[in-house]
Amino acid sequence: MARRPAASKATSNVSKDELLKYYRDMLLIRRFEEKAGQLYGMGLIGGFCHLYIGQEAVVVGLEAAAEEGDKRITSYRDHGHMLACGMDPKGVMAELTGREGGYSKGKGGSMHMFSREKHFYGGHGIVAAQVPLGAGLAFADKYLDNGRVTFTYFGDGAANQGQVYETYNMAELWDLPVIFVIENNQYAMGTSVKRSTKSTSLYERGAAFGIEGEQVDGMDVLAVKAAGEKAVAHCRAGKGPYILEVMTYRYRGHSMSDPAKYRTREEVQKMRDERDAIENVRELLLQGNHASEDELKAIDKEIKEIVNESAEFAKESPEPAFEELWTDIYAEDLPQGSAEDMNA
Ligand SMILES: Cc1ncc(C[n+]2csc(CCOP(=O)(O)OP(=O)(O)O)c2C)c(N)n1
Ligand SMILES: [Mg+2]
């Protein structure tokens, strides 16, 4: 197997504990998503379900650069983001299965989950709709002068939406503390980047608005973390937005129903064999004598148990009561503008 050497440009000052954390966090997302795929196949999850398998290093690397109180908002491919920011796997899985114990009481499903506690603002099904919302979150932080940063994630396909550029303009004009994270997994449903634009270096588009940015290897969690730290420092210093185009790859279909005619099996297999982010960290751990095969096996087992427990919880949680149809439609406790309310 022609695996690329695991060496990352950013390995020199990384501790064993950090590497183990990234390994664990990425593995949790992968195993959780595999389980979600199984439950979907069994008919326990219905509707849309977009898996994040292959892209784990993006959120895990960026969460490593975030601090308490920072915000995140993303598209429908959102399970990984929720797990990486510390939301409970049980609540996420129960939402996927449409059960009362889910984050939206079983009424939102895969694409519509939120956590005020973890500052996770969804889960958005309309391509690019979260981009202006992310700038809005950052506007509130700037107004409150609280030093917080918002990670606004969107895809390569979304990067062709007009509202992204209206948002870039305002975000730079007002120096908003927002990091635009383009998760470039090379496809928008079945359309490759090359078929949808001639301007394929997506981060460079920020230059038209005066926004700095860079491209990052999204299969290298340490490189993502390093770029994330730079972007966060830029925003916290009051220098306005920053664009990170993170080059990644999804191994599964766009959603659970995908005929997969737009790429070859060999292309997917090559990425899995040569670039997989979890395997890369696994090799760093083994090569650096930070962990033994047995220790890594024990972590694998522990993660499987967490995921199995989340699936059991989801299956046992009841479906929402009929009366729940009429609740949670209008917000009742809107913050009235005091800094204390807004930061809650
Ligand atoms: C405004 C809008 N147009 C079309 C769709 C249908 N749609 C859902 S996902 C998607 C592709 C988006 O691809 P990308 O932004 O690259 O994100 P990825 O799925 O790769 O994470 C499309 C066209 C939609 N949900 N919203
Ligand atoms: Mg894409």
> What percentage of the chain carries pLDDT values higher than 90?
90
* Tokens linked to 140: 């509130």
pLDDT for 10 beyond 60: no
CA of 186 to the centre of ligand 2 (A): 5
Confidence (pLDDT) at 13: 77
CA 137 – CA 30 distance, rounded (Å): 29
CA distance readout (Å), 313 to 36, 44, 93, 100, 261: 13, 13, 8, 11, 36
Taking residues 272-298, what's their average pLDDT?
97
pLDDT for 337 beyond 90: no
Give the pLDDT band (50/70/90) at residue 5. Answer: very low
| Nearest in space to 276 (alpha carbons), one of 304, 255, 251 | 251
Q: Which atom of ligand 1 is nearest to the CA of 185?
A: 20
pLDDT tens for each residue of 153-189 = 999 999 999 999 999 999 999 999 999 999 999 999 9
Domain segments of the chain: what residues? Answer: 16-315
Taking residues 66-75, what's their average pLDDT?
98
Q: What is the 3-state secondary structure (H, E, C) of 264-278?
A: CHHHHHHHHHHHCHH
pLDDT for 260 beyond 90: no
CA of 319 to the centre of ligand 1 (A): 29
Whole-prediction pTM: 0.95
Confidence (pLDDT) at 259: 83
* Tokens linked to 72: 């995140």
Tell me the β-bridge partners of 71: 150
* CATH code for the structural domain at 16-315: 3.40.50.970
Confidence (pLDDT) at 209: 98
pLDDT for 1 beyond 50: no
pLDDT tens for each residue of 265-277 = 999 999 999 999 9
Phi, psi of 161 (to 5 degrees): -85, 140
Mutate to test the pocket of ligand 1, among 75, 130, 189, 250 (most ligand atoms within 8 A of CB): 189
**Cβ(59)–Cβ(93) under 8 Å?**
no
Query: Which protein residue has the closest C-alpha to ligand 1 atom 19?
Result: 188
**HSE-up of 170 (CA within 13 Å, CB side)?**
13
Confidence (pLDDT) at 332: 80
**Cβ(76)–Cβ(125) under 8 Å?**
yes
Q: State whether the beta carbon of 153 lies less than 6 angstroms from ligand 1.
A: no
Mutate to test the pocket of ligand 1, among 49, 79, 127 (most ligand atoms within 8 A of CB): 127
CA 75 – CA 153 distance, rounded (Å): 7
